């Protein structure tokens, strides 16, 4: 399915059918791993992992995923490479393409990701940029489907900063046919350009400032940290986002069987109350585990296995 598009750069670059095939593969791989019948389709393959941003889940899930698929991963930070000392992204991409079978990049500016993909000759995977987080959303949709069935026609409520994760939820809404409601303070909302893309692609997106309006009758409630890595003006952001905490009162507005999601790390008492994230409706640790399985599917498909 991904043979014509080796890279996994963003959800909006794939069709619904391609993404559906990827999710189906992720579900199959998880089941095979649990039953001890996973196999080793990436035996002899090597993944380079480049981190400009710190990571827990991205690093461990990709590295463990490669091991479970029979391959190997090499982890480096930008300051451990000549990339951190002035070598161009293009030259680094050309060199690594002679050594490894794929590259995963977790960076700030998505242009670094795109330049790597342009000049390298191996698949490049988006491990996160300031603009999007597609691997996370594939794992999130996998989690929704495990707990609530097919995501099509579901209502997903996003509460808080409409950040890179929210933008990838928007891409997914247009591809998978669910409704995304975004509640965020005006300065932190999806842009007009984002919403225009969604309209053009047939996405059903609602955006406003009221958390209760977004969450009312929702199947899934999602939030993220008030302040992400590298962001400035922390006191100002906290003041803007304080009314957007997901607590038991807000969750009560969602459907009785609604689930709560958060990509982690979480800050209890800020974007979410302890009662919600540690409560029975929270699936955050299933969500974290599914990063492993969704990314194994991405790795296998990108490398033709």
Catalytic residue among 12, 140, 194, 224: 224
Rounded Cα gap, residues 86 and 81, in angstroms: 9
Rounded Cα gap, residues 270 and 57, in angstroms: 21
Largest CA distance in the chain: 55
Contacts of 218 (CB under 8 A, 6+ apart): 155, 156, 157, 181, 253, 254, 255, 258
Nearest to 225 by CA among 163, 173, 276, 169: 163
Please confirm, yes or no, whether 106 is among the known catalytic residues: yes
Please confirm, yes or no, whether 192 is among the known catalytic residues: no
Rounded Cα gap, residues 18 and 100, in angstroms: 25
Please confirm, yes or no, whether 193 is among the known catalytic residues: no
Catalytic residue among 101, 263, 295, 302: 263
Nearest to 257 by CA among 288, 283, 289, 284: 283
Rounded Cα gap, residues 279 and 282, in angstroms: 6
Catalytic residue among 6, 57, 106, 175: 106
Nearest to 117 by CA among 10, 241, 217, 273: 10
Catalytic residue among 68, 136, 189, 245: 136
Rounded Cα gap, residues 65 and 55, in angstroms: 15
In the Cβ-directed half-sphere of 25, how many Cα atoms lie within 13 Å? 22
Please confirm, yes or no, whether 136 is among the known catalytic residues: yes
Catalytic residue among 171, 262, 291, 293: 291
Please confirm, yes or no, whether 7 is among the known catalytic residues: no
Rounded Cα gap, residues 177 and 208, in angstroms: 20
Catalytic residue among 6, 7, 25, 133: 133
Residue 43 Cα to chain centre, angstroms: 26
Please confirm, yes or no, whether 263 is among the known catalytic residues: yes
Which strands form 102-106's sheet, in the order they lie side by side? 72-77, 46-51, 102-106, 124-128
Q: Which residues are marked as active site?
A: 106, 133, 136, 224, 263, 291
């Amino acid at each position: 399915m991904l043979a014509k598009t080796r890279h996994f750069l963003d959800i909006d670059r794939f069709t619904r059918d391609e993404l559906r095939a990827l999710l189906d593969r992720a579900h199959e791989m998880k089941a095979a791993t649990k039953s001890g019948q996973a196999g080793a389709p990436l035996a002899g393959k090597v993944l380079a992992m480049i981190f400009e941003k710190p990571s827990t889940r991205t690093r461990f899930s990709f590295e463990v995923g490669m091991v479970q698929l029979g391959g190997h991963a090499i982890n480096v930070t930008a300051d451990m490479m000549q990339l951190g000392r002035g070598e161009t992204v293009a030259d680094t991409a050309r060199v690594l393409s002679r050594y490894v079978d794929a590259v995963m990049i977790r960076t700030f500016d998505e242009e670094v990701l795109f330049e790597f993909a342009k000049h390298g000759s191996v698949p490049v995977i988006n491990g996160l940029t300031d603009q999007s987080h597609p691997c996370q959303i594939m794992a999130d949709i996998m989690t929704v489907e495990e707990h609530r069935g097919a995501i099509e026609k579901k209502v997903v409520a996003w509460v808080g900063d409409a950040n890179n994760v929210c933008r990838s939820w928007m891409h997914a809404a247009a591809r998978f046919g669910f409704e995304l409601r975004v509640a965020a303070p005006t300065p932190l909302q999806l842009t007009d350009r984002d919403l225009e893309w969604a309209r053009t692609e047939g996405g059903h997106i609602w955006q406003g400032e009221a958390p209760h309006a977004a969450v009312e009758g929702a199947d899934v409630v999602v939030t993220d940290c008030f302040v992400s890595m590298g962001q400035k003006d922390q006191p100002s952001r906290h003041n803007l986002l304080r009314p957007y905490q997901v607590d038991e009162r807000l969750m009560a507005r969602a459907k009785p069987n609604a689930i709560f999601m958060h990509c982690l790390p979480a800050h209890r008492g800020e974007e979410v109350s302890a009662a919600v994230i540690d409560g029975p409706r929270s699936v955050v640790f299933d969500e974290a585990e599914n990063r492993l399985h969704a990314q194994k599917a991405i790795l296998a498909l990108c490398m033709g296995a």
